[in-house]
Chain A
Amino acid sequence: MVFNAVSHTSPIILHISPLIVFLTPFGILEIIAYRIAISRSGIISYQLIKDSNKRKSWQKYVIPTIIEIVVVLVILLIGAIIEWQMAQQFGIVGN
């Protein structure tokens, strides 16, 4: 969204690689949040495959996942506020 906004005010950005999104504050936050989620998905899959006694060790999966969902929620909330602020500064969304 910010990329869209910036492209209107500063078309020069269109000559820069789209990988620049990694360097924006909200981009970094979103990427961190998504990576936490994906890697937790990978860990649970790995543990489900490896652990033969899943019923007994369900806490091992559920509690860290809940904690990380809360962490991701906070990160994404902050990221969304930053993204919104930046998009408004470049002035095209919300109308």
Chain B
Amino acid sequence: MFISVLLHELAHSIVALKYGLKVRQITLFIFGGVSDIEEQGESSKDFRKEFKIAVVGPITSFVIAGILALAWWILLLTSSSSSAQTGFSTTTDAIKSIAEAVLGYGALTNTLLGGFNLIPAFPLDGGRILRSALVRWKRKYDQSTKIAVRIGIAISYGFIAFGFITMFSVSFVSGMWIMFMGWFLNSGAQSYLSQHELSTTLSGVRLRDIMNTRFISVKPDITVNDLLNNYFNAYRKSEFPVVDEKHGSNLLGAVTAKQAINVVPEHNRDRITVEEIMIPKNKLIVMKSNRTADEALRKIFRENKSRVFVYDDNEEEEEEKEEDHIEKRGVGAIGEKKEQEKLEIKEQERQERQKLVGLISKTDLLNIAREREEYEKEVEKVSSSNNIEERRTSFSSSFLLPTHKFNIVSRQRLLFLVFGMILFIIAYSVGAILVKINSTEAEIMKKDFQEQIKGVNQYEIFINNFRVALGMFVPGFGIALGILSAFSTGWYLMLYHILPPLYSIFLH
């Protein structure tokens, strides 16, 4: 199973690498695997690339399933012919039957893996295929992602409802398993949606506009004792950037309270300097001030860090211009190596000259995202209430529109009611008209039904109906129950419809 999943994920990764996308890692877990492919920049938003990367996984699984099934079939043919010839079983037969079982199981597992991944529910491959199709159709990546994820969430609720019904009607364990799969899909889709929304909210925000410019930094040459007494104890912060003030506030690294206290023994704190214990710059998240906040948040989550150190990009731009100039000038074959060395030295110098201009923490980024989301919601609310006001003045049927806080008789409510009614009529009609049963079956079921309703009174009718109605209020499951109950009502009434009239008199 793990080999199948690994091959499936490897196929995704190979195609992604072919398109120049970074593949950080492949994680295998109980339900399958995940290829951590970089979702950054416009290239990852190309629907053709996404489609090819997504579809190659299920195709690989199906191809493996096909090969294994073919091998299983050949083995089955040879073993049946050989046993027919010899007439007794040998050790070879035993090995063959084990091989048959392994191949059969492999073929089945890979078919299921490919099939399951084609379910159009994010974050499965089917969800990504659906998104690429929607992007092709709608040309809007953000909108398509939201639609695809919501379809995935709806499917996950379907799984949960189906699992719930299976649990009580077919098999408790199978039902639980299906519900668990539904929950897995649901949590995957929900977390993808929230990440996507967060990323969309922060995508236009530059770090220079939100960074905290009033930060306290420490010098590299102060002792750990100084650091603890004059910084950590005084400002009560968990981390300080280490800055070389002699060379224009260049960032050297960062030092945490945990390091200062745990790593350095008390008797050495007067001797050891910050420079010796600090986290070097290359292990921190250091970003240019013109980078976006969503990029910063992605890095924070990926590298499991708490903040981003922002450096000035003015010097960088100048450097870049200089680099471009060198490139435009062109270099000969002999001078190429020297130029390369020069560039490397310049890169090193540039990194050393990164002037720290601000800090931004994960909490800051999340708060900004929340504020922006709230602002967008407010704007949406104001614009929708303006629309309602406009509609109220133009239509006399204002009772349809929300007039109070909880919005019981809203346009949306009526729409759902009509939709529910249509769904009921369809399910009822399918049960009453389309499902055919013979008169013997109908007679047995009718007798059974009459036994059930014998001796019932109005309270029992009410309790039974109310119990069914309560089940219909359950999100997701209620719709399934409604369809089932409409179908069975139609079906039961059909029993009377198909029995000959005279026969029903004898039943009395």
A93 engages B453 (CB within 8 Å): yes
A45 engages B476 (CB within 8 Å): yes
B416 within 8 A of A: yes
Among candidates A35, A72, A95, residue contacting B417 with C-beta atoms closer than 8 Å = A35
B472 engages A41 (CB within 8 Å): yes
Q: Give the distance to chain B from A52, nearest Cβ to Cβ, in Å.
A: 6
Q: Which residues of A contact B472 (CB under 8 A)?
A: 34, 37-38, 41
Bound Cα distance A16, B501 (Å): 11
A83 engages B458 (CB within 8 Å): yes
Q: Give the distance to chain A from B333, nearest Cβ to Cβ, in Å.
A: 58
Q: Considering only CB atoms and an 8 Å cut-off, how many residues of chain B contact the other chain?
A: 66
Q: Which residues of A contact B450 (CB under 8 A)?
A: 4
B326 within 8 A of A: no
Assess A65 versus B465: contact at CB under 8 Å? Given A7-B496, A93-B453.
no
Bound Cα distance A6, B458 (Å): 17
A12 within 8 A of B: yes
B1 within 8 A of A: no
Q: Which residues of B contact A42 (CB under 8 A)?
A: 416, 419-420, 478-479
A23 within 8 A of B: no
**Which A residue sits closest to B377, measured CB to CB?**
A53
B482 within 8 A of A: yes
**Which B residue sits closest to A29, measured CB to CB?**
B465
Residue with the greatest number of chain B CB neighbours at <10 A, chosen from A18, A68, A76, A81 = A18
Residue interface bits B472-495, CB-to-A below 8 A is 1, else 0: 111111110010011001100110
B504 within 8 A of A: yes
Bound Cα distance A30, B493 (Å): 15
Bound Cα distance A83, B501 (Å): 23
Bound Cα distance A30, B464 (Å): 12
Q: Which residues of A contact B40 (CB under 8 A)?
A: none
B454 within 8 A of A: yes
Q: Give the distance to chain B from A38, nearest Cβ to Cβ, in Å.
A: 4
B193 engages A92 (CB within 8 Å): no
**Which B residue sits closest to A67, measured CB to CB?**
B408
Bound Cα distance A13, B499 (Å): 11
Among candidates A31, A49, A80, residue contacting B461 with C-beta atoms closer than 8 Å = A80
Bound Cα distance A14, B150 (Å): 45
Q: Give the distance to chain A from B238, nearest Cβ to Cβ, in Å.
A: 28
B399 within 8 A of A: no
**Which B residue sits closest to A84, measured CB to CB?**
B458
Q: Which residues of A contact B500 (CB under 8 A)?
A: 14
Interface residues in A54-71 (C-beta closer than 8 Å to B) = 59-60, 63-65, 67-69
Extra 16 A-B pairs, beta carbons < 8 Å, given A35-B420, A80-B458: A3-B496, A8-B507, A11-B504, A18-B432, A18-B496, A34-B486, A35-B421, A38-B423, A38-B472, A41-B477, A46-B416, A48-B157, A48-B475, A60-B406, A80-B462, A93-B456
Enumerate 8 A-B pairs (CB-CB under 8 Å) in ascending A order.
A21-B489, A34-B468, A38-B479, A42-B419, A60-B406, A80-B458, A81-B458, A94-B457
* 7 pairs of A and B residues whose beta carbons are closest in the complex: A41-B478, A11-B501, A37-B472, A18-B493, A80-B462, A84-B458, A38-B482
